[in-house]
Amino acid sequence: MKNTVVLYGSTTGNTETIAKTIARELDAAIFDVATQPTSEIHKYQNLVLGTSTLGIGDLQDDWDAFLPAFKKTELAGKKIALFGLGDADMYPDSFVDGMGIIYKAIRDKGCIIIGQTDIDGYDFDDSSALVDGKFVGLPLDEDNQSDLTDERIESWVEQIKREFD
Ligand SMILES: Cc1cc2nc3c(=O)[nH]c(=O)nc-3n(C[C@H](O)[C@H](O)[C@H](O)COP(=O)(O)O)c2cc1C
């Protein structure tokens, strides 16, 4: 999908690895938010945003620095899918909160957020990435459930391909 880009921020490399897989499966461009200016974003109609969660429920550092400029870019009419890396065993009360932080920053920008997923199969207590009992995007837990990652990505990529323009 030539009109699609994956934007990711990654501290220890997990989100980067997943972003590469998703970009390959979508045949999409890929940007690291640590190095990429927002000026290229207007070229793409479909965006996939991937982040990890650090601290206790904090957005990944590069995303944290990128988000103010990203919020100022024109997102109206674009279709956006989110994925988030987290650790439900160590951080059960802030599971994939980074994904929730990005969601809240963009939900009123006129974009269409797609790719919501069910909570089934995840063992956590709370997450700011939940809306109406569903995750706002795809959570992945490389620390505890890496064996499920491939099938989760495969099914989610099929889902977002159907919903993207
Ligand atoms: C210091 C630290 C704090 C973390 N805090 C959270 C958290 O609050 N919620 C969560 O779901 N995961 C948390 N994690 C887990 C990471 O999000 C997870 O390991 C992720 O795969 C890292 O991805 P990255 O290598 O792309 O940064 C934390 C990890 C570390 C090392």
CA distance 92 to 87: 7
User: Which atom of ligand 1 lies at the shortest distance from residue 140's CA?
Assistant: 21
For atom 27 of ligand 1, which residue has the closest CA? 11
Q: Which helix H or strand E contains 26, and what residues bound it?
A: helix 14-26
Report the residue among 8, 54, 123, 128 best suited for mutation to probe ligand 1: largest number of ligand atoms under 8 A from its CB.
Answer: 54
Q: How confident is the model at residue 11 (pLDDT cuts 50, 70, 90)?
A: very high
Longest dimension (CA), the chain: 39
- End-to-end alpha-carbon separation of the chain, Å? 9
Tokens of 49: 């945003």
- Domains along the sequence of the chain with CATH: 4-163 (3.40.50.360)
CA distance 50 to 153: 12
pLDDT in tens, 74-101: 999 999 999 999 999 999 999 999 999 9
